[in-house]
A = this chain, B = another copy of it.
Amino acid sequence: MRPDRIQILIDALRVLPGVGPKSAQRLAFTLLQNEREGAQTLADAISDALTHLRHCEKCHTLTDQPLCNVCANPKRNDALLCVVQSPMDQLLIEQTMTYNGLYFVLMGKLNPLDGVGPKDIGIDALLKRATDGIVNEVILATHFTNEGELTAHHIAEQLTSRGLQVTRLAKGVPVGSELEQVDLGTLAQAMTGRRGAFS
């Protein structure tokens, strides 16, 4: 069989994480038979996003404007700066609706073994931004993995020596979680970081 447009589509769907040959096949036929309108909308949305997205000039998240929605909003508190590892993490924090400050989006995390240093992920630009005289608290929201913690420690060191208040997201037991579902390290952190109950 010569490769036809169905096969080309099946192969192209493999770009989606976790989609193997069999589910790519299923997805292709679903799109072509039952979801033609949604499929065209999806194709256009991908093309359009790829063409128009860029990095926000101020916080470096992905946006289709020179300044992202958050940076362009005059009601945000510009004394607070939350540091995240990626545009997706920025969006996740926005969705919690618990934060009214601004962001700085790093391009990933420090990884000395792979030769990824502070400059590679934009920490030099962060230090400049955080010491602009307006920011007074920097909230570190990098991941709670080894590399995320390393990145947070490195930034904290640099910023506290410059006299800024540096905080970190709280560690603990996830909401809705049974204690047996979390690892002992998390449980230990939750114990040492305990707070007044229902305050």
Contacts and interface: CB of A to CB of B under 8 A. Distances in A.
A49 B17 contact: no
A103 B31 CA distance: 22
Interface string A114-156: 0000000000000000000000000000000000000000000
A12 B45 contact: yes
A14 B121 CA distance: 31
What is the count of identical protomers in the complex? 2
A59 B39 CA distance: 25
Contacts of A2: 69
A86 interface: yes
A7 to B, nearest CB: 9
A190 interface: no
Give the one of A25, A49, A88 with max B CB within 10 A.
A49
22 contacts: A2-B69, A4-B69, A5-B52, A5-B53, A5-B64, A6-B62, A6-B64, A8-B49, A12-B44, A13-B45, A15-B35, A15-B41, A15-B42, A16-B16, A16-B27, A17-B27, A25-B92, A28-B49, A29-B62, A29-B86, A33-B86, A43-B47
The 8 A-B residue pairs with the shortest CB-CB distance in the complex, in nearest-first order: A15-B38, A12-B45, A43-B46, A29-B88, A12-B42, A9-B45, A5-B64, A43-B43
